[in-house]
């Protein structure tokens, strides 16, 4: 555990005071003030003088915190990656926080790509051109792929031909394997869904880009899926794993992980396949288990409760169907400090502009239902029960076994713990650990058919409104912990 004086600095801000005023009031030395600024230990007498001057207890100005908390600033970038099927950028953002730099991105959906680029091109301007919508353009055109490799070498100095690329990562669309996707696949066999073969395109590009590490991510349902109703459970995963293990020069392991074990306020099980290039990592793994073999990090815990996550966004005067445009509360937790720290390091304070806090326009009956559910500990009163799916009230504090939810394509499944409404886009994004500066492009939400398509009629295109982009993303904190582990491996 480490010492933190964040409570002291917050108290000064709330009282419109600064460090110079504090020094004048207490008579403490400049060296003591420097120690406080660096979160270093000072004598208890110093803390006594400060607490007496401010009229508070010592516990109100100092606290102990875990040695490592969520990062508020990105670390120096020395490592480079390509993100395939990048979506709105959750995996990329976590990797960037861990010190990786994106050099090429692929994403088919225009709104998701717009979100990805809108949050990056100021910092990584080459992405304005180093992006491609259809992965088939890279797979079927050697000239296109070679063009990107030459451009990356010229502009960034990474010689992909020489094996300099650190990482290729990707999560091919998973609707055909997820529980939700199965419910919306209209009884079409998985072998008939084109998106279910995109893992082959990723494996091909790994073989051409030859990164030091590759990471494949997908839903838990992949482990039990079968190509046809007559097939056997798990046959799709067997084919996926065989495909990645057939790439020359890589040792490959896999693991089913749960996002809550890596600091995310969701259960969110995900299957990860990791490949390490043998000339960089020559030691053969002893286990298929990617964590036991050291290919992935061990669980770190640290998931926040929802009260820590969302309480500063609660507007006591919110209007059903309306919007809140500024923060109504000051920061009260470290995770809120992370969310409200902008890219330039400045903190968003009470009264500053708040984005994406628009409320769904629920009917009077739904508001009454949600109000009763909150009052009854989540139970749906008899008069409100239907044969359709039942919403759940989100718990303010997780039970002993931790987060039990998974954010998906729409917020309709969950009711806010303190207000009779579904979550806003900003609250949905916080569940995935996107900081508040992260913006989302496209529609706020859309109808179920437009989100799901209709494979039985040959309609495979799906709209990706903001909620769906967020729900499809890799949680940022999970990606950060994986990226930090990869960075440490690459530095050895």
What is the arithmetic mean of pLDDT over 392-420?
Answer: 92
Show the domain range for 141: 79-302+476-491
What is the arithmetic mean of pLDDT over 466-479?
Answer: 97
Q: Is residue 453 part of a domain?
A: no
Question: Which residue in 432, 462, 442, 466 sits closest to 94, CA to CA?
Answer: 432
**C-alpha dist (Å) from residue 124 to 120, 154, 155, 440:** 6, 15, 11, 18
What's the token pair of residue 228?
Answer: 């046809």
At 461 the pLDDT is 59
The verdict on 44 and 158 lying in the same domain is no
Q: Which residues contact 143 (CB under 8 A, 6 or more apart)?
A: none
At 481 the pLDDT is 97
The verdict on 38 and 98 lying in the same domain is no
Domain boundary at 41, 65, 89, which? 65
The verdict on 147 and 275 lying in the same domain is yes
Q: Is residue 219 part of a domain?
A: yes
Note the pLDDT tens digit of each residue in 225-280.
888 888 899 899 999 999 999 999 999 999 999 999 999 999 999 999 999 999 99
Give how far the C-alpha of residue 475 lies from the chain's centroid of Cα atoms, to the nearest Å.
2
**% pLDDT > 90, the chain:** 67
CATH of the domain at 9: 1.10.260.40
Q: Is residue 134 part of a domain?
A: yes
Question: Rounded to two decimals, what is the model's pTM?
Answer: 0.81
Q: Is residue 180 part of a domain?
A: yes
At 453 the pLDDT is 45
At 179 the pLDDT is 47
At 175 the pLDDT is 55
Could you tell me which residue, 185 or 336, shows the higher pLDDT?
Answer: 336
Q: Which of 10-24, 36-50, 140-154 has the highest mean pLDDT?
A: 140-154
Q: Is residue 38 part of a domain?
A: yes
The verdict on 33 and 151 lying in the same domain is no
Note the pLDDT tens digit of each residue in 266-290.
999 999 999 999 999 999 999 999 9
Pairwise CA distance, residues 472 & 173, whole Å: 9
Question: Which residue in 83, 46, 29, 99 sits closest to 491, CA to CA?
Answer: 99
CA dihedral 227, 232, 234, 240 (to 10 degrees): -40
Q: Is residue 451 part of a domain?
A: no
The verdict on 203 and 237 lying in the same domain is yes
At 69 the pLDDT is 53
pLDDT band at 462 (very low <50, low <70, confident <90, very high): low
Neighbours of 94 (CB within 10 A): 26
Count of the separate structural domains present in the chain: 2
The verdict on 142 and 280 lying in the same domain is yes
Note the pLDDT tens digit of each residue in 153-179.
999 999 998 899 999 999 998 655 544
pLDDT band at 183 (very low <50, low <70, confident <90, very high): very low
Q: Is residue 364 part of a domain?
A: no
pLDDT band at 389 (very low <50, low <70, confident <90, very high): low
At 434 the pLDDT is 98
């Amino acid at each position: 555990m480490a010492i933190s004086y964040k409570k002291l600095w917050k108290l000064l801000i709330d009282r419109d005071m600064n460090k110079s005023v504090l020094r004048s009031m207490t008579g403490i030395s400049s060296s003591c003030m420097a120690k406080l600024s660096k979160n270093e230990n000072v004598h208890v007498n110093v803390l006594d003088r400060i607490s007496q001057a401010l009229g508070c207890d010592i516990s109100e100005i100092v606290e102990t915190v875990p040695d490592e908390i969520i990062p508020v600033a990105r670390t120096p970038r020395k490592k480079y990656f390509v993100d395939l099927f990048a979506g709105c950028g959750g995996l990329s953002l976590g990797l960037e926080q861990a010190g990786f730099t994106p050099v090429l991105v692929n994403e088919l959906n225009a709104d998701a790509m717009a979100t990805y680029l809108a949050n990056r091109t100021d910092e990584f301007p080459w992405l304005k051109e180093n992006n491609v919508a259809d992965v088939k353009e890279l797979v079927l055109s050697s000239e296109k792929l070679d063009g990107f490799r030459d451009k990356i070498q010229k502009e960034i100095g990474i010689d992909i031909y020489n094996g300099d690329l650190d990482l290729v990562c990707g999560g091919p669309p998973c609707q055909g394997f997820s529980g939700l996707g199965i419910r919306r696949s209209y009884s079409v066999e998985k072998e008939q869904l084109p998106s279910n073969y995109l893992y082959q395109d990723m494996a091909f590009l790994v073989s051409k880009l030859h990164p030091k590490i590759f990471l494949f991510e997908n839903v838990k349902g992949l482990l039990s899926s079968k190509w046809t109703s007559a097939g056997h459970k798990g046959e799709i995963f067997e084919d996926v794993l065989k495909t990645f293990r057939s790439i020359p020069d890589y040792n490959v392991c896999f693991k089913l992980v749960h996002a809550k074990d890596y600091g995310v306020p969701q259960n969110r099980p995900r299957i990860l396949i990791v490949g390490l290039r043998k000339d960089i990592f020559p030691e053969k793994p002893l286990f298929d288990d990617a964590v036991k073999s050291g290919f992935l990090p061990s669980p770190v815990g640290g998931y926040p409760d929802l009260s820590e996550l969302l309480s500063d966004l609660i507007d006591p005067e919110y209007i059903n169907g309306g919007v809140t445009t500024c923060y109504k509360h000051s920061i009260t937790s470290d995770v809120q400090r992370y969310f409200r720290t902008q890219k330039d390091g400045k903190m968003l304070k009470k009264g500053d502009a708040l984005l994406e806090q628009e409320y769904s326009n629920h009917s009077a009956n739904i508001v009454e239902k949600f109000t009763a559910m909150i009052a009854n500990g989540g139970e749906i009163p008899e008069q409100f029960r239907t044969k359709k799916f039942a919403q759940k009230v989100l718990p303010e504090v997780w039970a002993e076994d931790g987060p039990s939810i998974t954010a998906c394509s729409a917020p309709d499944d969950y009711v806010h713990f303190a207000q009779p409404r579904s979550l806003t886009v900003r609250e949905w994004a916080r569940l995935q650990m996107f900081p508040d500066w992260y913006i989302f492009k496209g529609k706020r939400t859309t109808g179920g058919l437009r989100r799901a398509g209709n494979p039985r009629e040959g309609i495979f295109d799906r709209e990706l409104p903001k909620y769906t982009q967020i729900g499809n993303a890799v949680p940022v904190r999970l990606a950060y912990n994986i990226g930090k582990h990869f960075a440490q491996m690459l530095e050895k």
